[in-house]
Amino acid sequence: MANSPGFLAHHDGDVVAVAVRDLEPGPAEGGYLRGPDSVTVQLNEAVPLGHKLALTDLAEGADVIEYGQRVGTASKQISKGDYVHVHNVRSARWQNSVA
């Protein structure tokens, strides 16, 4: 990457990455801590610093993988390049809790 990455993913196979600065819609280049050197994603919407973006399309109910681990479930269809947050993901942490 010629410039510093706009986002980082932890493992090859992660379906989300974290913005390392505020990102605007359009092409964004990022990298992996463990995996391919770089990847470019067409962002569909702005992604704030520290928030997640989708690296692949996810169907409603699909596992959200980050750090090589299941961290949540898509609560609705998520397209590659979408902002991923509480409006479209349910945390795996609370899914097995008794209400």
The answer to whether 8 and 24 are in contact (CB under 8 A) is no
Q: Give the model's pLDDT for residue 4.
A: 84
The answer to whether 73 and 90 are in contact (CB under 8 A) is yes
Q: Going residue by residue through the chain (99 aa), what tens digit of pLDDT does each one get?
A: 457 899 999 998 999 999 999 999 999 999 988 877 789 999 999 999 999 999 999 999 999 999 999 999 999 999 999 999 999 999 887 666 544
Q: Give the model's pLDDT for residue 99.
A: 45
Q: Which domains does the chain have, with CATH numbers?
A: 7-95 (2.30.130.110)
The answer to whether 51 and 88 are in contact (CB under 8 A) is no
